[in-house]
Structure 1
């Protein structure tokens, strides 16, 4: 919290009280630089973060749904649960950081695929096949050829 008087970001809480309606907390703070006091109010963030589906429908962001998709893609792969949790955390942060409080599922899916591609190409292909709705073997082949070409360029 920046001081409204001098802009310093360090302060201490002098007093905290719940509002009469119990829907917020009032905090008296004191700036550690200029020592002036100011009041802040803390409220629960009630507007949900949304994802916009391909057909235009809006749906509440569900981190469990993201994790479930990752678990399916990474089944029997040597990936730690913490690596998957990190991808879910990055995805959630991406949605939360949106100024409009929403992201498209294509943006979210591309982010997840980019992270998977960095850590496990088999899991990436599995996820991409479902996410991009591969219709036949030629689409798998095209994606694999792109991966092989990228690996040749690196190594």
Structure 2
């Protein structure tokens, strides 16, 4: 299925040039979607491709640009299927990006719509990363508990 999204180097550079200044939101989407498509694997490729097209059409109003972004996403997905090392690096970057910007998780949920196994798996991974990244040390937790107790006691006295 990915063979239909094969682009030559000049075609890819032209698509990249046309989609270069869509903004940070589109750049993140163009990074996130191909990695998610590869995480789902070949057996869910058709469903993820359809969901990716819906997401892109929803976020980019110009149909011509949306088509170019879709070709760019599918070109990257094709590269990730061919180069496992590149995919592994970007998969870890994806988890870190979602942990840092939890709003992007909505795109992940949208692309895995209709694929409950992948949705559950990536939700668990992101939840674990988020919990580890924003976990307070024991001393900080104790100080925070003391400050909260003090605040609630002061409010009760007023």
Using structure 2 for the length normalisation, give the TM-score.
Answer: 0.28
More strand by share: 1
Query: Which gives a bigger RCO, structure 1 or 2 (Cα 8 Å, sep 6+)?
Result: 2
More helix by share: 2
Bigger Rg, structure 1 or 2: 1
